[in-house]
Chains A and B, each alone.
Chain A
Amino acid sequence: MNKVVQMLLVLTSIGIISGGLLAVVSGWADPLIAANQKAATEAAIFRVKPEGKKYEQIKNAGFELYKVMNENDQNSGYALVYQGNGFSGKIRLIAGLSEDLNNISAIEVLDQVETPGLGTKIVEEPFTSQFLKLETSPKIDWVKGEKPDKPNEIQTITGATISSKAVVAILNDGISRLKKLRESGGLK
């Protein structure tokens, strides 16, 4: 009997102490973690919309979307966060768009698990810089092994065609949803 009491007592007190300790630590850490995430999102928004000075999230879009304002407080476009399937897992990216949604200002890949050294080139130059000033209508297209000659085309990476095509598909998906949202008046 005594033994059972001791067992319960020890386990319960270890549980209570560790729970209490964790509550204190997470009380300290949670605001910092939230601030880190916010700072990371903010930095990414301003990297894809360099002229932006302020932003606000469009809450009822159904996906992650930010309206970006320039220094005169005028709407200067949108930053769209969207994800889809890549070569070996999800690719999540952010794209800066002009106010009329017809031009991409820049893109940045936020999360990916592509093949190191091949698919991971979608994160780097020169692949990402192909999207600067890229036209989005009727949709973004890709060419393989040659220089793109239309204003809405990019060249896929050698050895990482599927990853490159995935980025294009994710962008097309996200932008078409955004365009539908605008038609239904959801961007006001």
Chain B
Amino acid sequence: MELFIIFISAAIVNNFVLAYFLGICPFVGVSNKLSSATSMGMATTFVMVITAIVSWLLYNLVLIPYNLAFLQIPSFILVIASLVQFVEMVIKKVSQPLYRALGIFLPLITTNCAILGLALFGSMREYSFLENVIFGLGAGAGFTLALVIMAGIREELDLADVPKPFQGAPITLIVAGILALAFMGFAGMI
């Protein structure tokens, strides 16, 4: 039950993009096409789950026992950067189609604050290992959901008559605001 609450909370109620503003850069940048939004969402979810596993192990088995909590930020970001590189190499070796689908998005993920945010939130909330993995999965699902909904809306928006100064980023942010408002309706589910 607790695990289910963590998943729903991270995916919908406290959506990373719409409630915590994490991962706004790819959200504004990649959300103009439905197909690329789906791929980006899946690549991010994948990296998030691995990050949840590795950052938990690093924090609880190395940093805490050796009293090195002050190295948390540099070590997390380095681990995430090398992890993304590693995942890219493995995917390239193992599956060419998957690499073509996700490949170009992987380098972008390193600078996605949602990933570092996930690692930091996980250690701040003192989740257990399993809880942290579920949290990563939920956050990834929520990110994908927000990205896909947004991409769907923006494809329609291309046909709409938006005033010139508001074209591009401004109207995207305003739509995101309305979406955030809609997601507030999910509050109280947990």
Chain B interface, number of residues (Cβ within 8 angstroms): 12
Pairwise interchain contact B70-A25, C-beta atoms closer than 8 A: yes
Please tell me if A19 contacts chain B, counting CB pairs below 8 Å. yes
CA distance A22 to B67 in the complex (A): 12
The CB with the most chain B CB atoms within 10 A, among A22, A26, A88, is that of A88
Pairwise interchain contact B14-A23, C-beta atoms closer than 8 A: no
Pairwise interchain contact B5-A85, C-beta atoms closer than 8 A: yes
Please tell me if A46 contacts chain B, counting CB pairs below 8 Å. no
Pairwise interchain contact B14-A89, C-beta atoms closer than 8 A: yes
Pairwise interchain contact B13-A26, C-beta atoms closer than 8 A: no
Please tell me if A74 contacts chain B, counting CB pairs below 8 Å. no
The CB with the most chain A CB atoms within 10 A, among B13, B188, B190, is that of B188
Which chain A residue lies CB-closest to B9? A89
CA distance A89 to B14 in the complex (A): 8
Please tell me if A18 contacts chain B, counting CB pairs below 8 Å. yes
Pairwise interchain contact B188-A87, C-beta atoms closer than 8 A: yes
Pairwise interchain contact A88-B13, C-beta atoms closer than 8 A: yes
Q: Chain B residues with Cβ under 8 A from A113's Cβ?
A: 14
From A18, A26, A162, give the contact of B188 (CB < 8 A): A162
CA distance A23 to B190 in the complex (A): 40
Pairwise interchain contact B71-A22, C-beta atoms closer than 8 A: yes
Q: Chain A residues with Cβ under 8 A from B5's Cβ?
A: 85
Please tell me if A115 contacts chain B, counting CB pairs below 8 Å. yes
Pairwise interchain contact B190-A19, C-beta atoms closer than 8 A: no
Q: Chain A residues with Cβ under 8 A from B69's Cβ?
A: 26
Q: Chain B residues with Cβ under 8 A from A87's Cβ?
A: 187-188
Interchain Cβ contacts within 8 Å, total number: 26
Q: Chain B residues with Cβ under 8 A from A23's Cβ?
A: 70
CA distance A30 to B14 in the complex (A): 31
Interface flags for B67-79 (1: CB within 8 Å of A; 0: not) read: 0011100100000
Pairwise interchain contact B13-A19, C-beta atoms closer than 8 A: no
Given A88-B13, A88-B14, A89-B14, answer yes or no on A26-B70 (Cβ-Cβ < 8 Å): yes
Q: Chain B residues with Cβ under 8 A from A26's Cβ?
A: 69-70
Pairwise interchain contact A85-B70, C-beta atoms closer than 8 A: no
Pairwise interchain contact A115-B71, C-beta atoms closer than 8 A: no
How far does the Cβ of B167 sit from chain A's closest Cβ, in whole Å?
31
Interface flags for A77-90 (1: CB within 8 Å of B; 0: not) read: 00000000101110
Q: Chain B residues with Cβ under 8 A from A162's Cβ?
A: 188
Which chain A residue lies CB-closest to B19? A88
CA distance A58 to B184 in the complex (A): 40
Q: Chain B residues with Cβ under 8 A from A25's Cβ?
A: 70
Which chain B residue lies CB-closest to A15? B74
CA distance A162 to B13 in the complex (A): 15
Which chain B residue lies CB-closest to A30? B70
Q: Tell me the residues in window 169-190 of chain B with beta carbons closer than 8 Å to chain A beta carbons.
A: 184, 187-188, 190
Q: Chain B residues with Cβ under 8 A from A18's Cβ?
A: 74
Q: Chain A residues with Cβ under 8 A from B13's Cβ?
A: 88
Pairwise interchain contact A22-B70, C-beta atoms closer than 8 A: yes
CA distance A88 to B9 in the complex (A): 8
How far does the Cβ of B114 sit from chain A's closest Cβ, in whole Å?
18
**Can you report 9 A-B residue pairs in the complex whose CB atoms are below 8 A from each other?**
A22-B70, A26-B69, A30-B70, A85-B5, A85-B190, A87-B187, A87-B188, A88-B13, A115-B187
Given contacts A85-B5, A88-B13, A89-B9, 11 further A-B contacts (CB under 8 A): A18-B74, A19-B71, A22-B70, A22-B71, A23-B70, A25-B70, A26-B69, A30-B70, A87-B188, A88-B187, A89-B14
